[in-house]
Structure 1
Amino acid sequence: MQLTDHQLIDFDKNGYLFFPGKFSPDEATLLKQEAEAVYAMDRKEVWRESSGVARTAFAAHRYNEGFRRLGAHPRLIEPVEQVLDGSVYMHQFKVNAKAAFDGDVWQWHQDYGTWKRDDEMPEPRAMNIAVFLDDVTAANGPLLFIPGSHKLGVVEAGHDLETTSYPLWTLGRDKVSELAERGGCVAPTGPAGSMLMFSSLLVHASPANISPFDRTIVYLSLCHVDNHIRAFNREEWIAHREFKAIEAMDDNCLMELIAERRQAAE
């Protein structure tokens, strides 16, 4: 999958691109089933909210076949390679849950701020690309972006170790208000199977989900192979240390898995 010139211009201006329905309903259903199987596991990679429901599952591409294939899907790998101008490796893979009623907040932050401070990633030659596994609406904790905030480089942040179960370098209210006055605030919403791509410098957050509807999104954090991390302060399954370039699979790799499982069930 290659981005058009117009899409490249939009990405440079706003720091993100949104592709509603880029994955089919069948593909999204498969991945949601894979997420539920992963969340049911008793593994150190699966972090939970205080209520006990899953918050995020790290490195699921290493112990789940559907996510292994998604981690090398050309719809995700190729556009990032295009923007970063070269091969990429998996810096981080996570399946973020915002369970109905219990999904907690993700504070305002920049991903590269964490990758720079905690992992010593040299430059912001990395980004996130994500797939919605549920319909994402205004009601169930959508991602919030401040368009254009990626143009400002790394913004001053504090290390929040208390608000949620996951430590994060977060921005203060005054800075977020200042950025939003300049760039506004948007919340991309769409059906399961939609795809998001956003700069590692883009300031973003998501509110708690107090609706009765789940909101699950899987994220690939991809980094140029020459820009790999230099410090190993975090667990390897959070900040990966294998810097080998990802080789994209065939575009129909998820549909093939669906067919294999249907055949096995007959």
Structure 2
Amino acid sequence: MKLTDAQQKEFDREGYVFLPEMFDDDEVAVLRREAEAIYASDREEVWRESNGVARTAFAAHTYNEAYRRLGRHPRLVEPVKQLLDGDVYMHQFKINAKAAFDGDVWQWHQDYGTWQRDDGMPTARAMNIALFLDDVTAANGPLLFIPRSHKHGVVEAGHDLETTSYPLWTLDRETVSKLAEEGGCVAPTGKAGSVLMFHGTLVHASPPNISPMPRTIVYLSLCEVNNHITKFTRKEWIAHRDFTPIESLNDDCLKELAREAVAAE
């Protein structure tokens, strides 16, 4: 899959591009079922909220077949290679949950700010591509973006170790307000199977989910191979150290797994 010229220009201008319904219901069903099993498991890679519900599951592509295939899916990998103009490796892989009623906030932050400070990633030649496993609505804790904020590069941040169960380099209210005066604030929403691509320095957050509807999103954080990290302070399953270029699988790799699951029933 390749982005059109218009999509590339939109990404450069706004810092993100939305690709509706890129994966079909069968593909999403396989991934959602496997995510639920991962959240129910007792693994150190599964980070939980203070009340015990899953917050995020790291590195599922290293221990789950469906997510191994997703981590090499051409609909996700090839557009990032196109934008970064080079081969990419998997810097981070996570399945972020916002459980119905209990999903907690993700504070305002830039992902590359963390990759630079904690992992020693030299430049922002890395980005996120996110797949919705549930319908994302205004009610169930959607991502909030400040368009064009990626043009400011890395901005000053503080290390928040208290607000949630997960430590994060966060932006203060004054900084976020100034950026929003320029770019506004948007909440991309869409059906399960939709995809968001966004720049590593785009300022974003998400509110708590107090709705009765869950919201799960898978994130591939892909980095150009010559821009790999230089510090190894975080666990390997959070910031990966295998800089091997990803080789995409065939486009039907998840559909094949879905067919196998149906045949086994």
Give the TM-score taking structure 1 as reference length: 0.99
CA distance in 2, matches of 1:200, 1:218: 16
Partner Cα separation in structure 2 for residue 181 and residue 29 of structure 1: 39
| In the alignment, structure 1 residue 258 sits paired with structure 2 residue 258 | yes
- AA aligned to 2:146 is I
Taking the aligned partners of 2:21 and 2:64, their CA distance within structure 1 comes to 23
Q: Note the C-alpha offset of 1:259.
A: 1.0
**1:1-48: per-residue Cα shift (whole Å, max 9, x none)?**
101111111000000000111110111111111110110110000000
1:154 equivalent to 2:132? Answer no
Q: Which residue of 2 aligns with 1:8?
A: 8
Q: Percent identity?
A: 73
Residue 204 (structure 1) aligns with:
204
SS of residue in 1 equivalent to 2:255: helix
Aligned to 1:135: 135
Residue type of the partner of 2:178?
Answer: E
The answer for the alignment partner of 1:163 in structure 2 is 163
Structure 2 residue aligned with 1:242: 242
Count of residue pairs the alignment pairs up: 265
Letter in 1 for 2:239: A
Code of the residue aligned with 2:81 in structure 1: it is E
Where has structure 1 moved over 4 Å in runs of 4 or more?
none
CA deviation profile, 1:224-264 (whole Å, cap 9, x unmatched)? 00000000000000000000000000001000001112223
Q: Distance in 2 between matches of 1:258 and 1:22?
A: 16
RMSD: 0.5
Query: What residue is the counterpart of 1:59 in the other structure?
Result: 59
Scaled by the length of structure 2, what TM-score is found? 0.99
Stretches of structure 1 lacking an aligned partner (at least 5 in a row) = none
Amino acid at match of 1:153: G
The letter of the residue matching 1:76 is L
What's 2:96 paired with? 96
Aligned pairs for 1:24-35 (under 5 A) are 24-35=24-35
Residue 51 of structure 1 deviates from its aligned partner by: 1.2
SS of the residue 1:94 aligns to? strand
- Give the structure 2 partner of residue 123 of structure 1: 123
* Cα separation, 2, equivalents of 1:167 and 1:89: 24
Letter in 2 for 1:167: P
Q: How far apart, CA to CA, are the structure 2 residues paired with 1:191 and 1:96? A: 16
Match of 1:40 in 2: 40
What is the aligned partner in structure 1 of residue 186 from structure 2? 186
Q: Which residue of 2 aligns with 1:76?
A: 76
CA deviation digits over 1:58-106, x for unaligned, max 9? 0001111111100000000000000000100000000000000000000
> What is the DSSP-based 3-state SS (H/G/I as helix, E as strand, rest coil) of the residue aligned with 2:115?
helix
